[in-house]
Structure 1
Amino acid sequence: MAIKNLNDLYLHQLKDLYSACKQSMAIVTEMGRVAKSRELSEALIAGNQGIARGMETLAQICDTHDTDPTGEHCRGMEGLVNEARKHAIETDFGDDDTQDAAIITQYQRLAHYAIAGYGCVRTFANRLGHDGDGAQLQECLDNTRDGDEHMTRIAEGGVNQAAMDGR
């Protein structure tokens, strides 16, 4: 697909973000299975539910623009997923709390990538006059930021301290 103007870029980025979300769901599920903290595990489950809602929104927006959301593969998220697997799951950790801290780190890297993506497509939508799209994308952006902030609270609320103490 040739990207000739902002509208083409907008549609391309919606599809790329859909791919990013789809790829992140699998690794978030894996990290949720290995997380030892119940609070962290529950937050990862909630994160996956939020990712699924975001994908639904992206698919609906693509549908209103007669675009198939599955037409791209996000290589950026592919790299982040590989890093998350390597650094949060496959690494040999000395204790469970340290692994939970690593899981939070990797989740937040995934979330920050999604925050950047949602922010860009929201801005494009608003510039193009797709105000309904912009409002929906702002909601996805807000939800993703909320999930990121929740992970920070979990980390600061005990996981990082426990990892430091080596409990």
Structure 2
Amino acid sequence: MSTPESLQDVYIDELKDLWSANDQMLKVIKKITAKASDAALKDMLTKSQDGIASHTAILKELIAGQDEKVSKDHCKGMEGLAAEAIKHVIEEGPDKGPVLDVLIIAQYQRMTHYGIAGFGTAAAFAKALGLKDDNKKLRDATKDIYASDAFMTKLAETSVNLEAEDA
């Protein structure tokens, strides 16, 4: 990433950073899905992989639409979140069961919150730049991410956390 000189530059940098963040999150989700014990959690993790891939396709489309080289910039923020998820779920977490499911949800939500912030910020940049179509696509993606986060919160509060408490 070169030094941004305009909001347009910042917008493009954000899109490229989000692409990298999505790729990193997708790799982690693929690794932890098989470890989930709760059927609803496993199903949501599987569905989220398609959502992440769809959002990545949107990012590539938006970058190309700005006549930019369709490439990504390594996201160090997600790198740290992904490393934490691997540490807590794969390396140090229990082999299976409700306590592991609690850890999976916690790490998933941390990564998801990063996505909410990034996509929301990119949508605001697009709006300021008068890129109405980009803004709509980014807002729709943000809504999708919010919905998956809300599902995970409900799942945690209504079943997974309770099961872990009894474990």
TM-score (norm 2): 0.96
The match for 1:153 is 154
CA RMSD of aligned residues (A): 1.2
- How much has 1:87 moved relative to structure 2? 0.7
Q: Is residue 114 from structure 1 mapped to residue 115 from structure 2 by the alignment?
A: yes
Q: Is the 8 A contact 1:95 1:163 kept in 2?
A: no
In the alignment, does 2:61 pair up with 1:60? yes
Map 1:61-100 onto structure 2 (within 5 A).
61-93=62-94, 96-100=97-101
* Kept after mapping to 2: 8 A contact 1:80/1:110: yes
For structure 1, the residue ranges without an aligned partner over 5 or more in a row are: none
The 1:80–1:126 alpha-carbon spacing in structure 2 relative to 1, beyond 3 Å, is same
* Conserved 8 A contact 1:14-1:121: yes
Equivalence for 2:39: 38
Distance in 1, matches of 2:122 and 2:165, equals: 39
Query: How far apart, in 2, do the equivalents of 1:39 and 1:28 lie?
Result: 15
State TM-score, norm by structure 1.
0.96
Partners in 1 of 2:123 and 2:48 — Cα distance?
20
In terms of mean alpha carbon deviation, does 64-73 or 116-125 score higher? 64-73
Work out the percentage of aligned pairs sharing the same amino acid: 36
Q: AA paired with 2:68?
A: T
Aligned residue pair count: 166
CA contact (8 A) 2:7 2:125 kept: yes
Aligned equivalents of 1:61 and 1:38: distance in 2?
A: 35
Offset at 1:70?
Answer: 2.3
Residue identity opposite 1:84 in structure 2: A
Structure 2 contact 36–96 (Cα < 8 Å) conserved: no
| Alpha-carbon contact 2:105-2:152 (below 8 Å) kept | yes
- Greater than 4 Å deviation, 4+ residue runs: none
Counterpart AA for 1:72: D
Pair 101,108 (structure 1): closer, same or farther in 2 beyond 3 Å: same
Which is worse superposed, 5-14 or 63-72? 63-72
2:106 aligned partner, one-letter code: T
Are the aligned partners of 1:28 and 1:44 in contact in 2 as well (CA < 8 Å)?
A: yes
Contact 2:35 2:96 survives alignment (8 Å): no
CA distance in 2, matches of 1:5, 1:127: 12
CA-CA distance at 1:86 after TM superposition: 0.4
Return 5+ residue gaps in structure 2 as ranges: none
CA distance in 1, matches of 2:122, 2:164: 37
